[in-house]
């Protein structure tokens, strides 16, 4: 069998792929908001939150960008049924782990933002990123992407 031939994916593949893209587009919007609308965001934050945001190193911001842009690209790749979606989602996961690792272990984010914003939501982001990598691997094994 030619490795470039694909099997028609089930309906749930499309549902998961669309929901994953919407999830990642929310991340893109969050990134763009923090990157380009800082003053408007700062006006709604406490002094401690502004200080934490302003002290974020460039490498963490870069990890955030990698997480959201490669995540969105990977989901588009799933919708286009492209094998490179798996690599893009893997890079997104790496970005997520670097960014959240910084927040978990190198800041006082849980004190500044509270448990939900500093621990629960980032943990959910990690879990979803891991699940998307596994979904892409499954899709490749089932030849839904090539």
74 in Cβ contact with 132 (< 8 Å): yes
Q: Is the pLDDT of residue 87 over 60?
A: yes
DSSP state of 106: S
Number of C-beta neighbours around residue 52 at 10 A: 19
Q: What is the mean pLDDT of the chain?
A: 93
Q: What is the pTM of this model?
A: 0.90
Looking at residue 55, its pLDDT comes to 92
Q: pLDDT digit string (tens) for 25-64? A: 999 999 998 888 778 888 888 899 889 988 999 999 999 9
């Amino acid at each position: 069998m030619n490795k470039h031939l694909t099997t028609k994916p089930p309906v749930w593949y499309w549902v998961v792929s669309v929901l994953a893209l919407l999830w990642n587009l929310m991340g893109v919007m969050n990134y763009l908001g923090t990157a380009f609308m800082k003053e408007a965001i700062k006006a709604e934050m406490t002094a401690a939150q502004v200080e934490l945001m302003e002290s974020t190193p460039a490498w963490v911001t870069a990890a955030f960008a990698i997480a959201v842009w490669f995540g969105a690209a990977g989901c588009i790749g799933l919708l286009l049924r492209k094998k490179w979606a798996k690599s893009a989602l893997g890079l997104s996961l790496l970005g997520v782990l670097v960014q959240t690792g910084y927040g978990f272990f190198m800041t006082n984010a849980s004190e500044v933002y509270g448990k939900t914003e500093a621990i629960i939501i980032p943990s959910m982001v990690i879990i979803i990123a891991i699940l998307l990598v596994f979904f892409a691997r499954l899709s490749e094994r089932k030849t839904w992407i090539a």
